[in-house]
Amino acid sequence: MTGKCFFLYRALRRVARKLNKIMNQRRAYDYPSAAPSVVRHPSPIVGDSMTGSMFDPCVVALPEGGFAMFVSRRIAGTVERWDSDDGIDWSCKGTALEPSPDSSEWDSTVNRAWVLSVNDEWQMWYTGQCGCKSSIGYATSKDGFVFKRHSSNPVIVPELGFEGDSVMNPCVLFEDGEYRMWYSAGEDYEPDVICEARSHDGINWDKTEKPVLMKGYEQYDSCKVGGCSVVSLSNNLLAMFYIGYQNLDVARICLAVSFDSGSTWKRSKYNPLIGPTRNRWDAHAVYKPSALINEDGSVALWFNARKDRCEYIGSAVIEADGWKNWIIQ
């Protein structure tokens, strides 16, 4: 292929992608923007024209009260910490993890982090990206504000057939001395499936032989699934909030429940839970949830949403009565 033909080919591909995106986004309002019992905050709570796009939050409840959010800033390729007393009004506390200064390193961009505080140590699993490949790294901190990479990084790399070129979006629970990670895998643009791995130290992981959740038969996640937040409700009962993709450009937050500690997952009949809102800041897609169970039994959700190329962080609450009915049914 000559140079002129190559540039023409690339130009035609860009035009085709733009046209496809326009057609895809016409499906953004196939479902309501919120399921029954979901109360959404009307405006973004983190991110504006000054910060640029902010995405993929992980929210941690602090023992002294209030919350810490670890969130990705796209323009800087960093993970930042933001704090809040009420989960709505947030202030930036600085950069928690910087990208590698070497542009050829596996984590020359960092994002999509998950953070736990275990035994007086803050632990972070994060997505490192270089080119079209993503891997998962590990970092620790004594104060929860500045994290140091582990020497064994990356701790999870794409190596199984269904993982494609990318593993990303870690979500980690620590129970009974064991770490359980759910992560997304597949394409570099948006992953295809949700997988699981287990570890006793948070560094060395054993993966399951196949994904735990794949695309479904209903339109809301018929293209692919990704980026999840798993909460433990009892010994064997788990709830997974995940991204369901109707197509590459339209995504919503959905729910799957496991009654056997994650061996099998059943999608909620109330899906999707949260979707785009016409003519609002979240008009085109809603992505990566972070969930916490409140003392009154309700669920607090934080997520990123997109209109055109701008992504900001939003929030919602699922009322306790509605949430309990979803689990039962």
H or E element that contains 7: helix 3-25
CB proximity list for 104: less than 8 A, separation 6 or greater: 130
How is the beta sheet containing 54-61 ordered, strand by strand?
54-61, 67-73, 78-84, 90-97
Q: How many CA atoms lie within 13 A of 11 on its CB side?
A: 6
Q: pLDDT by residue (tens digit) across 294-303?
A: 999 999 999 9
pLDDT at 190: 79
Nearest-5° angle of CA 121, CA 126, CA 129? 150
CB proximity list for 1: less than 8 A, separation 6 or greater: 9
pLDDT band at residue 326 under the 50/70/90 scheme:
confident
Contact at 8 Å (CB) between 316 and 41?
yes
Q: Distance between CA atoms of 178 and 199, rounded to whole angstroms? A: 6
pLDDT at 5: 67
Average pLDDT, the chain: 93
**pLDDT higher than threshold 80 for residue 16:** no
Domain 33-328 has CATH 2.40.50.140: no
Q: pLDDT by residue (tens digit) across 101-127?
A: 999 999 999 999 999 999 889 999 999
pLDDT at 7: 61
Q: Which residue has the higher pLDDT, 169 or 12?
A: 169
pLDDT band at residue 14 under the 50/70/90 scheme:
confident
Contact at 8 Å (CB) between 19 and 26?
no
Backbone angles phi, psi at 217, to 5 degrees: -100, -15
pLDDT at 151: 94
- For residue 319, give the nearest of 297, 295, 303 by alpha carbon: 297
pLDDT at 41: 96
pLDDT at 9: 59
**pLDDT higher than threshold 80 for residue 4:** no
- For residue 226, give the nearest of 176, 266, 175, 188 by alpha carbon: 188
Q: How many residues does the chain have?
A: 329
Residues facing 34 on adjacent strands = 274
Tell me what the mean pLDDT of segment 36-53 comes to. 96
Residues facing 164 on adjacent strands = 186
**pLDDT higher than threshold 80 for residue 191:** yes
Backbone angles phi, psi at 3, to 5 degrees: -60, -40
Contact at 8 Å (CB) between 153 and 128?
yes
Per DSSP, 163 falls in state G
pLDDT at 132: 87
**Exposed e or buried b per residue across 177-197, where buried means at least 16 C-beta atoms within 10 angstroms of its C-beta:** eebbbbbbbbbeebbbbbbbb
Q: pLDDT by residue (tens digit) across 262-302?
A: 999 999 999 999 999 999 999 999 999 999 999 999 999 99
- For residue 273, give the nearest of 200, 208, 327 by alpha carbon: 327
Q: pLDDT by residue (tens digit) across 55-97?
A: 999 999 999 999 999 999 999 999 999 999 999 999 999 999 9
Tell me what the mean pLDDT of segment 179-204 comes to. 94
Percentage, residues of the chain above pLDDT 90 = 85
Contact at 8 Å (CB) between 97 and 124?
yes
pLDDT at 20: 81
Strands 299-307 and 121-130, bridge-based pairing: unpaired
Contact at 8 Å (CB) between 227 and 56?
yes
Q: Distance between CA atoms of 195 and 120, rounded to whole angstroms? A: 28
pLDDT at 325: 76
**pLDDT higher than threshold 60 for residue 6:** no
| Residue appearing with tokens 């934080």 | 302
